[in-house]
Structure 1
Amino acid sequence: MTDLLPDPDSKIEQARLWRDNGWTARVIKNEDDDGWAVAMIKDGEPEPALIGPWTMGRDKKNPKPLDGNAFNTLVKTAAEFVRRHEQQLHATLHQSIIVTAKNARVTVSLDIVPDDDNPSATLTAQDEAGTELAQLRVSPGFKLNRTSATAWADGGFQKP
């Protein structure tokens, strides 16, 4: 039995479909207007990482064909978008703040573990030397800010 699907790692260079370097660019009809859009899909991902407008061709009816330079620019843009999204997610899930409590500098960290069924979060305090002073489980909705961190440290690291 022969495999009718192309090798997912194979390079494709077509007017409306390019695949290389772990990315696929697909020119699609823009559902919001009469124009065209390009969807950038990272290999192994079910959804596009980025969808943006695509230029009309000279006939003002069909899309401009993809080419190497356009594809490389699209890959760079989509990769940067994914990288910024991952950085934002990391910053949201792993927060840290330094406060002064009882005349000592304390680093308070909140680490959230997102989970559809059982999300959790851990609040941790460390002194300047990095020694753990306290750790406890809190709600994933806990708001870490200067006031909450100082109150926790000043209160002897009791459950907030």
Structure 2
Amino acid sequence: MSVEPEQEDVSIFEDRLWHHKGWEARVIKNEDDDGWAVSMTQDGQSEPALVGPWTMGRDKKNPKPLDVSAFNTLVKTAHEVIRRHEQHLAALLHQAIQIDVHGLRVTVALDIEPDEENPTATLSATAADGSQLAQVRARPDYRLTRAAAQQWADAGYPRTSED
């Protein structure tokens, strides 16, 4: 019984295409001008994580060939782009604000669970000692601001309108 290698295991090292350790670098014609671009796509993804300009070769007509140094730099840069995107998404989905309520420090948090059909959100208040003061469902488009958090706390943490 022979076992075929998976796509991720196959390495390709061509002038305009490198595929190695889960990443594909592809040098492409830049549609906006006469130059070249390089796209970095992680295995399993349909869209590139990074697209950027690519250097012209010595003949000033064709692109410079990919090499190990350039590929490694592109992989590192693509990882950074993905990491920043994930951090940005986490910041949008999980927000927290600290406020003072009757002289006590309270953290009000909004946690959104994304779902294309039915996203949900939870608004919670936690005391400085970690005890939960309130937890209610909120609209996924609820805007957590310091003023909104303070108003919710001052009103006694009522259920929010989910309409």
TM-score under structure 1 normalisation? 0.93
Alignment partners' CA distance in 2, 1:19 and 1:117: 36
Contact 2:23 2:43 in 1 (8 A): yes
- SS, match of residue 97 in structure 2: strand
Q: Structure 2: which 5+ runs fail to align?
A: none
Q: Structure 1: which 5+ runs fail to align?
A: none
* 1:44 matches 2:51: no
Aligned length: 159
- SS, match of residue 134 in structure 2: strand
Corresponding letter in the other structure for 2:140: P
- SS, match of residue 84 in structure 2: helix
CA shift for structure 1 position 6: 7.8
Match of 2:134 in 1: 134
Match of 2:61 in 1: 61
- SS, match of residue 90 in structure 1: helix
* 4+ aligned runs moved over 6 Å, structure 1: none
Contact 2:8 2:22 in 1 (8 A): no
* 1:109 matches 2:106: no
1:37-68 Cα distance to aligned partner (Å, 9 max, x none) = 00000111111001001011111111110000
Q: Mapping of 1:19-38 within 5 angstroms?
A: 19-38=19-38
CA shift for structure 1 position 150: 0.9
Q: Percent identity?
A: 60
- SS, match of residue 8 in structure 1: helix
Alignment partners' CA distance in 2, 1:90 and 1:6: 32
* 1:95 matches 2:95: yes
Alignment partners' CA distance in 2, 1:103 and 1:64: 64
TM-score under structure 2 normalisation? 0.92
